[in-house]
Chains A and B, each alone.
Chain A
Amino acid sequence: MLDLTPKTVSERSALRINPCKTCQPVGALYAALGVHRCMPHSHGSQGCVSYHRTFLTRHFKEPAVATSSSFTEGASVFGGGPNLRAAVKNIFDIYDPDIIAVHTTCLSETIGDDLNACIQDISVPDGKIVVHANTPSYVGSHVTGYANMLSGFIRCLADPRAAKNDRTAVFPGFVNPGDIRELKRILSLTGLPSIMFPDQSGVMDAPMTNTYVMYPQGGTPLDDIRALGGCARVLALGGFACAEPADVLDKKCKVPCAVLPMPVGVGATDAFVTAAAEGAGRAVPEELEDERGRLLDLMLDANPYFYNKSVAVYGDPDTVAGLVAFILELGMRPRYVVTGTPGEAFTRRITALLQEYDTGNCTVKAAADLFELHQWIKNEPVDLLLGTSYGKQIAKAEDIPLVRAGFPVLDRYGHSYLPIVGYQGGIRLAKMIADALMDRQDRDCADEDLEVVM
């Protein structure tokens, strides 16, 4: 029913159909929500922030608060400086955040508003802060916007003269609050003192308390962002979302950086846990060794159901790289691996992963869209789709099971509370994948083949 996709792939150079990305500002907005008592501010038309808030609310099932410069015809001709000045005053007067994080939009970028100069001219109340980032919607994707906003915070706030501390800065990447909770649990088990930046846990998964607070308990405190400048090292989890801000911090404050893959699956989690334990100068704690062992146990137990199953993986570059690494560990066969975010670094990274395992032919593409993916699947189907909710039309049209992971998931509940990172996240993912494949087997098998014991 939902299928307009022709099987024959024809060359497209101008038309984007069913994108696998969205624009920079929503990533910037999400990054800013991970800072304590921060109001994200969109310097553009009213509609942008309305769409971004709706989009985030649909994924997290949480309020996503942000303000807008509410551009009018006049602002788009004469510049949005006066709008920004009025906005900053109104925001501090009425919503009283500690910090406003301004990001641009395609409109304010195109008319050439100089944010730096605009903000210099604004009188900001004592003790309050305005930071900014350039996030043109016509460059990169929401992942780029997330990275740019982190860089913006670091440029404006990280203090090169901050007292040296023994803490490790951890940049978690574009992940769910549930993932960040899991990363923090692992860090605390290894005994590594750390600063999580940004930290949307406690903000985008705030508990129900019968009160609405505009700034929930969570978020990286401002002092911690300043203290990034004195950290012993940075662990940047995911090169696409975190390498650039880590580099900015290194250049500004001389904090050495290790870029690790998003810790999804055994190998990538090992790398993260090892780095954390080494940083703490201790052995990997037994509790984490046990979790690792349980994940391996599950992978062995269910191995026949994973083995050689073909998979299409799609979504954001760091997440997709993590998922691909894990399904390779599970003995599955990635057949199509795509992201909407442009950049050949993605294809290089995925190709390197594939070379470690010899799983046969796999099509890898950055700056791709889901229409294209659908056409490939029509020509050669897969056993499983692994990615965002936007794959559900393909799943329905081609009758392929879909396991939801990444951003956004708009049609299920609870995903933002639970991790895909760490050994525990691996156990959850492996179970989701096995359940999907085994449910399908039960549904499709002949009555006489139905087994109670599998």
Chain B
Amino acid sequence: MYAYVLEERKDSIRVVSDGAPIRCGADSVSGAVSQRACVYSGARVVLNPITDAFHIVHGPIGCAAYTWDIRGSLSSGSELYRNSFSTDLQEKDVVFGGAEKLAAAVDEVMREYAPALIFIYCTCIVGVIGDDVEAVCRNAERKYGNRVVAVKSPGFSGNKAVGYRLAGEALMQLLTPYGHLPKGDGVNILGDYNLAGEMWIIKQYMREIGLPVVSTFTGDSSYASLIRAPSARLNIVQCAGSMVHLAQRMEKEFGIPWIKASFFGVEDTGAAVRRAADLAGTAETRRRAAEFTRRESERTERLLEPCRARLAGKKAAVFVGGGFKAVSLVRQFRELGMETVLVGTQNGRPEEYEVLGRLAAPGTVILDDANPAELERFLREKGADILVGGVKERPLAYKLGIAFCDHNHERKHALAGYEGAKNFAEEVNLSVNSPVWRHVRAGQGH
């Protein structure tokens, strides 16, 4: 198909209308400049927003340093999670074992802060050197009566999605003792990390229609708020990639049904709010949801008009972590009168790629686990005007003279809900129509 693509990667690239299923979820090819992260990274990003937990990285310093205050998840309470804790393993620990140091680190935390919850993340070498971390956790729980949960997440044991599952299992360990709580009228929101306050926007919508929110996973959550979760009657899952596993486990263990819901874009936000009302609310809730979404979508439509006029006909490219977000973004660009010419994800699932295949226009390129060389070729070939991605894609887009919008950890404004739809349109407009591009284009041929 394309000469500059590694043979092993050809099945991970599709053009809409070629009909073949995409290969995804496989390990990255050795030697590829993959944009992918690891198991630890997946587990950490899911659990990190639990604001009053001590997140202790058991391993050498790097994994703790790179995940120090990374996500822009906001808190209405504790700021503990924004510090970096680790055992900073040294050579002698690697030789003689690090379990003792870990136990001492837990003691030091307990002596000073006595938190209700500690996560211990085991990175690559912990299993290799044979530390019995679970024993350390058990002993600590006995000694202090709090929760000390091991997240065994060596980077090599799979990809980021494996880390999401491990995070889900760690959360289940917290929730299981509270599985007997009687069901109330509320819902849980799963898979939103309160980046730039997005969880607060979703909670506000639930308040508007009269649906109480029990727990949030994990944006702006605390140990005390999480353990109430089994009393909810519905789980609303926003970032499906990271939270489907937990939702399935909660359905099985606590009998809580779940729905996927995207709060990105006017269309999807409206559908998500109404669906939540349908499944968890009363006739009154449904009435309020219908009215609220109609009012908000009309109001937002008016706000989008000025941007739409300046963006119509532009071409968009999307490269994000999960497939569900990619689907929303394709719709959102359509709302702005823009066509998506390239869609890729780091960890999309087969069913999400299927939806993308149906949604995207013929000729759209679909990529799984792309590397910069592939992104570059297709961005150029398809004439994209803007790329939506994360930190590693930003300078690549700019170098190519293509506008950029961060839809990942470094987003500058809330992108969820109606407010987010307006912010997104403004960011896309600001980047696509920046005056800098005039000079860039004028400079060519000098």
* B144 close to A (CB within 8 Å): no
* A347–chain B nearest beta-carbon distance, Å: 18
Minimum C-beta distance from A3 to chain B (A): 8
Q: Are B372 and A18 in contact (CB under 8 A)?
A: no
**B68 at interface (Cβ–Cβ under 8 A)?**
yes
How far apart sit A414 and B426, CA to CA, in the bound complex (Å)? 25
A21 to chain B: which residues have CB within 8 Å?
61, 65
Question: Which of B16-24, B104-112, B174-182, B290-298 forms part of the interface with chain A?
Answer: B104-112
**Number of contacts between A and B (CB, 8 Å)?**
239
A106 to B63, CA, bound (A): 11
| Shortest Cβ distance from B86 into A: residue | A16
Identify the closest chain A residue to B409 (Cβ).
A54
Max count, chain A CB within 10 A of own CB: residue among B39, B61, B154: B61
Query: Which B residues lie within 8 Å of A10 (CB)?
Result: 108, 111-112
Q: In the complex, how many angstroms separate the beta carbon of A136 from the nearest chain B beta carbon?
A: 7
Give A91 to B29 CA distance when docked, in angstroms.
10
**Given A52, A57, A210, A393, which contacts B444 in the complex, CB threshold below 8 Å?**
A210
Q: Please, which residue of chain B has its CB at the minimum distance from the CB of A110?
A: B125
Contact of B79 among A4, A54, A69, A107 (CB under 8 A): A4
A132-148: which have CB < 8 Å to B? 136-139, 141
Please tell me if A381 contacts chain B, counting CB pairs below 8 Å.
no
Assess the B440–A86 pair: CB atoms within 8 A.
Answer: no
Complex-state Cα separation, A418 to B88, whole angstroms = 33
**Chain A residue, CB-CB nearest to B376:** A212
Partner of B38, one of A4, A48, A63: A48
Q: How far is the CB of B108 from chain A (nearest CB, A)?
A: 4
Q: Is the CB of B399 within 8 A of A18?
A: no
Tell whether, in the assembled complex, residue A46 and residue B36 are in contact, meaning their CB atoms are under 8 Å apart.
yes
The answer, yes or no, to whether B102 is at the interface (CB within 8 Å) is: yes
Q: Once the chains are docked, how many angstroms separate the CA of A137 from the CA of B66? A: 13
Q: Is the CB of B94 within 8 A of A110?
A: yes
Q: Would you list which residues of chain A between 65 and 82 have a CB under 8 Å from chain B?
A: 65-73, 75-76
The 8 Å CB contact of B112, one of A6, A87, A139, A212, is A6
Q: Does B82 contact A (CB under 8 A)?
A: yes
Known: A44-B124, A72-B27. A63 touches B112 (CB 8 A): no
Residues of chain B within 8 A of A200, CB atoms compared? none
Stretch touching chain A among B238-246, B252-260, B299-307, B388-396: B388-396
What mask results when residues 145 to 159 of chain B are scored 1 for a CB within 8 Å of chain A, else 0?
Answer: 000000000111101
Quote the shortest CB–CB distance from A393 to chain B (angstroms).
8
Partner of A14, one of B87, B94, B444: B87
| Distance in Å: Cβ of A82 to nearest Cβ of chain B | 8
Complex interface residues of chain B between 84 and 105 (CB less than 8 A to chain A): 84-91, 93-94, 101-102, 104-105
The A-contacting residues of B in range 48-82, CB under 8 angstroms, are 56, 59-69, 79-80, 82
Contacts of A201 in B (CB 8 A): none
Q: Are B155 and A47 in contact (CB under 8 A)?
A: yes
Q: Is the CB of B32 within 8 A of A70?
A: yes
A21 to B88, CA, bound (A): 10
> CA separation between A53 and B27, bound complex, in Å?
19
B82 and A2 within 8 A (CB): yes
Q: Mask for B29-52, Cβ within 8 A of A = 1, else 0?
A: 111111111111100000000000
A402 to chain B minimum Cβ distance, whole angstroms, is 16
Interchain CB contact under 8 A, A48 and B62: yes
The CA of A217 and the CA of B30, in the complex, are separated in Å by 27
**B373 adjacent to A46 (CB under 8 Å):** no
Contact A91 B31 (CB under 8 A): yes
Find out whether the CB atom of B399 lies under 8 angstroms from the CB atom of A209: yes
- A57 CA to B32 CA, complexed, in Å: 18
* Distance in angstroms between the alpha carbons of A304 and B35 in the assembled complex: 51
A172 at the interface (CB under 8 A from B): no
Write out the residue numbers on chain A whose beta carbons fall within 8 Å of the beta carbon of B282. Answer: none
- Cα-based distance from A21 to B156 in the complex (angstroms): 24
What's the nearest-Cβ distance from chain A to residue B144, in Å? 15
Residues of A within 8 A of B283 (CB): none
Tell me whether A14 and B105 are in contact (CB under 8 A). yes
Given contacts A21-B65, A91-B31, are A16 and B88 in contact (CB under 8 A)? yes
In the complex the two chains form, is A110's CB within 8 Å of B41's CB?
no
CA distance A88 to B30 in the complex (A): 8
User: For the complex, is A445 an interface residue (Cβ under 8 Å from B)?
Assistant: no
Shortest B39–chain A CB gap in Å is: 7
User: For residue A4, which residues in chain B have a CB less than 8 angstroms away from its CB?
Assistant: 79-80, 83, 113
Does B6 have its Cβ within 8 Å of any Cβ on chain A? yes
Q: What residue in chain B is nearest A69 (Cβ atoms)?
A: B30
Identify which of residues 7-47 in chain A touch chain B, using a CB-to-CB cut-off of 8 Å: 10, 12-19, 21-23, 25-26, 41, 44-47
| B337-352 with Cβ < 8 A to chain A | none
Task: Evaluate contact between B101 and A48: CB separation under 8 angstroms.
Answer: no
Residue pair A16, B61 in contact (C-beta under 8 Å)? yes
* In the bound complex, CA of A139 to CA of B101 (Å): 16
Q: Which residue in chain B gives the minimum CB-CB distance to A76? A: B156
Neighbouring A residues of B89 by C-beta, 8 Å: 106, 138
Q: Given the complex, which residues of B lie within 8 Å of A209, measured CB to CB?
A: 399
Among residues 348 to 388 in chain A, which have CB atoms less than 8 Å away from a CB atom of chain B?
Answer: 371
User: Contact at B84–A17, with CB atoms within 8 Å?
Assistant: yes
Which A-chain residue is minimally distant from B104 (CB atoms)?
A14
Bound-state Cα–Cα, A87 to B111, Å? 47
Q: For the complex, is B433 an interface residue (Cβ under 8 Å from A)?
A: no
In-complex Cβ contact of B104 among A13, A52, A105 (8 A): A13
13 A-B residue pairings within 8 Å (CB atoms): A4-B80, A10-B111, A14-B87, A15-B86, A17-B84, A47-B37, A50-B37, A62-B395, A70-B34, A94-B32, A138-B89, A141-B61, A212-B400
List the 6 closest A-B pairs by CB distance, nearest first: A47-B38, A23-B62, A45-B155, A87-B31, A90-B31, A14-B104
Task: Using A23-B60, A70-B28, A136-B94 as known contacts, list a sample of 6 further A-B pairs with CB atoms less than 8 Å apart, ordered by residue number in A.
Answer: A17-B84, A50-B35, A57-B395, A76-B156, A106-B124, A110-B129
